[in-house]
């Protein structure tokens, strides 16, 4: 009987998570109350799918590049691409095409409103926002599943189930799944990366088969890290944590020899390669690619452009920081299409960094003045992000994880959740902008921390 209770409990948790997220897609009756959702919708509704892979990878010509519409976009482009691709697919079910599968999915998801739709129904401003919300809801539901898998891998099925239940009921996760913003996708990819990091940290390198398993998990951790950064640049610490997890796998073998070190170094190289590949392919407009026009923008060689419109854009492109510009100019020509960053993307990152640090002073940033570092975001997590019972338990659990990491048995099991919670919290909690949603990527690990301490007390 007991063997059926475990999958039944897991199924109930997932159903509850999905019900809380997918209920009432247009719950706000198209009031557009979230300013970031309005911005995302403005940007994505102006995009178009490219006609070829070459056009997709050309930052100066791609109709998917928000910078070509003179729009600011400081987040990653992966959520934009996903939302636009799904909307275009569903639009094929509208007249005059009326393809069978998209039409069926459209009616299932949007009801009678999609039955007599015409081209542009799903890609227009109103409904592409709802398509994006569906993707946010799906991403956060998958996050609950990943929390279960991570908790079970590190601490057993009891912790996995309890952590998944906490994640299913986490207030901030539910709230952001109801909007078309990047945080739900970001959190899902971060959680997936941490799951593979947890697998890495609990492995040993003492056989060829385990070396292959290490490389496979390193590849997946790197890929998820790259996709997370392509959702939002603030996910970059996942790359560092992947390297740490690989190092732990190597150090767990006290008889580590030269081959073990080489195996670990190969794993780092594999993780780095998949991370870069994932990021490069889903954030293509962060690079100049094969575009001579984008290269001219980047090195500000505007005299090489003959098109007046291109010349105008080039003149308005802010210059790169001098040190970075010198490095970019020295990139060998054969590597330039792959790794040379675009000045337009760098300018967006500089703009975002100026707001995060307080160097810029836009009116919407005034609310962050005189907010106490650490204490302000911690209070928000406990009182508003998770609620006092779960929030307080999660904080206690986080310190319990840290204590077990510093002194205790199976310390490697506590490494990934403890380092991520404290490292990312300090990274975001000491910024000038201390928005509650900026801490969302640590919520899956906070739920695991709460489950760990409760299971420890119960035992």
pLDDT score at 131: 95
Reply yes or no on whether the pLDDT at 309 is more than 90.
no
Reply yes or no on whether the pLDDT at 391 is more than 80.
yes
Could you tell me the pLDDT band of residue 428, with boundaries at 50, 70 and 90? Answer: very high
pLDDT score at 108: 87
Contacts of 175 (CB under 8 A, 6+ apart): none
| Residue whose C-alpha is closest to residue 318's, from 298, 332, 302 | 298
Percent of the chain with pLDDT over 70: 93
Could you tell me the pLDDT band of residue 311, with boundaries at 50, 70 and 90? Answer: low
Distances in Å between the alpha carbon of 236 and those of 21, 28, 125, 256?
27, 33, 31, 29
Distances in Å between the alpha carbon of 149 and those of 158, 163, 445?
11, 10, 12
Alpha-carbon distance of 120 to 41, in angstroms, equals: 14
Give the residue ranges of DSSP H helices in 365-410: 375-380, 388-406
Reply yes or no on whether the pLDDT at 330 is more than 90.
no
3-state secondary structure of 71: coil
pLDDT tens sequence across 342-364: 888 988 888 888 888 888 888 88
Reply yes or no on whether the pLDDT at 36 is more than 90.
yes
| Mean local confidence (pLDDT), 10-14 | 94
Mean pLDDT, all residues of the chain: 90
- Report residue 86 as tokens: 């799904």
Q: Name the helix (H) or strand (E) containing 451.
A: helix 443-458
Reply yes or no on whether the pLDDT at 307 is more than 90.
no
Lowest mean pLDDT among 158-162, 270-274, 336-340, 445-449: 336-340
Which residue would you say has higher pLDDT here, 70 or 140? Answer: 140
* Torsion angles phi and psi, residue 423, rounded to 5: -65, -50
| Residue whose C-alpha is closest to residue 111's, from 1, 28, 26 | 26
| Residue whose C-alpha is closest to residue 176's, from 71, 56, 40, 73 | 40
- Report residue 148 as tokens: 């279960």
pLDDT score at 297: 80
Could you tell me the pLDDT band of residue 154, with boundaries at 50, 70 and 90? Answer: very high
pLDDT score at 316: 61
DSSP conformation class of 254: T
Reply yes or no on whether the pLDDT at 303 is more than 60.
no
pLDDT tens sequence across 221-275: 999 999 999 999 999 999 999 999 999 988 877 666 777 888 999 999 999 999 9
pLDDT tens sequence across 361-374: 888 888 988 899 99
pLDDT score at 301: 58
Could you tell me the pLDDT band of residue 315, with boundaries at 50, 70 and 90? Answer: low
Q: Say what the pTM is.
A: 0.93
| Mean local confidence (pLDDT), 21-48 | 92
pLDDT score at 250: 86
pLDDT tens sequence across 401-422: 999 998 877 888 899 999 999 9
pLDDT tens sequence across 378-390: 999 999 999 999 9
| Residue whose C-alpha is closest to residue 125's, from 83, 156, 171 | 83
DSSP conformation class of 367: G
pLDDT score at 351: 85
Reply yes or no on whether the pLDDT at 218 is more than 90.
yes
Which residue would you say has higher pLDDT here, 244 or 306? Answer: 244
pLDDT tens sequence across 90-132: 999 998 888 889 888 988 888 887 888 888 899 999 899 999 9
- 11 exposed, middle or buried (CB, 10 Å; 0-12, 13-18, 19+)? exposed
């Amino acid at each position: 009987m007991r063997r059926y209770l475990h999958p039944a409990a897991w199924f109930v948790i997932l159903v509850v998570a999905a019900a809380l997220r997918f209920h009432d897609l247009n719950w706000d009756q198209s009031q557009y109350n979230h300013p970031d959702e309005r911005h995302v919708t403005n940007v994505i509704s102006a995009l178009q799918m490219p006609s070829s892979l070459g056009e997709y990878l050309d930052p100066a010509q791609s109709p998917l590049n928000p910078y070509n519409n003179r729009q600011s976009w400081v987040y990653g482009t992966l959520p934009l691409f996903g939302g636009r691709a799904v909307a275009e697919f569903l639009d094929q079910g509208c007249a005059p095409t009326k393809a069978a599968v998209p039409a069926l999915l459209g009616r299932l998801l949007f009801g009678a409103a999609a039955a007599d739709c015409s081209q542009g129904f799903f890609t227009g401003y109103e409904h592409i926002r709802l398509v994006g919300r569906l993707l946010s809801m799906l991403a956060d539901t998958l996050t609950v599943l990943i929390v279960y898998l991570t908790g079970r891998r590190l601490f057993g099925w009891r912790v996995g189930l309890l952590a998944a239940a906490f994640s299913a009921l986490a207030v901030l996760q539910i709230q952001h799944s109801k909007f078309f913003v990047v945080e739900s996708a970001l959190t899902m990819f971060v959680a997936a990366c941490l799951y593979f990091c947890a697998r890495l940290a609990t492995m040993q390198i003492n056989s060829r088969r385990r070396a292959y398993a290490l490389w496979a998990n390193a590849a997946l951790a790197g890929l998820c890290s790259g996709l997370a950064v392509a959702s939002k640049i603030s996910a970059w610490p996942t790359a560092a944590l992947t390297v740490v997890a690989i190092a732990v796998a190597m150090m767990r073998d006290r008889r580590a020899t030269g081959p073990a070190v080489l195996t670990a170094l190969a794993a780092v190289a594999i993780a780095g390669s998949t991370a870069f590949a994932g990021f490069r392919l889903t954030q293509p407009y962060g690079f100049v690619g094969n575009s001579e026009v984008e290269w001219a923008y980047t090195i500000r060689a505007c005299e090489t452009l003959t098109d007046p419109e291109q010349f105008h854009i080039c003149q308005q492109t802010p210059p790169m920081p001098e040190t970075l510009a010198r490095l970019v100019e020295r990139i060998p020509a054969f590597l330039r299409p792959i790794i040379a960053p675009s000045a337009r993307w760098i300018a967006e990152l500089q703009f975002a960094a100026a707001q995060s640090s307080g160097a810029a002073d836009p009116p919407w940033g005034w609310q962050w003045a005189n907010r106490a570092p650490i204490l302000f975001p911690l209070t928000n997590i406990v009182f508003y992000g998770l609620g006092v019972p779960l929030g307080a338990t999660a904080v206690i659990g986080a310190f319990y994880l840290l204590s077990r990491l510093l002194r205790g048995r199976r310390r490697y099991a506590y490494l990934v959740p403890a380092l991520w919670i404290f490292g990312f919290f300090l990274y975001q909690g000491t910024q000038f902008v201390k928005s509650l949603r900026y801490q969302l990527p640590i919520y899956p690990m906070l739920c695991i921390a709460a489950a760990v301490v409760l299971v420890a007390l119960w035992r």
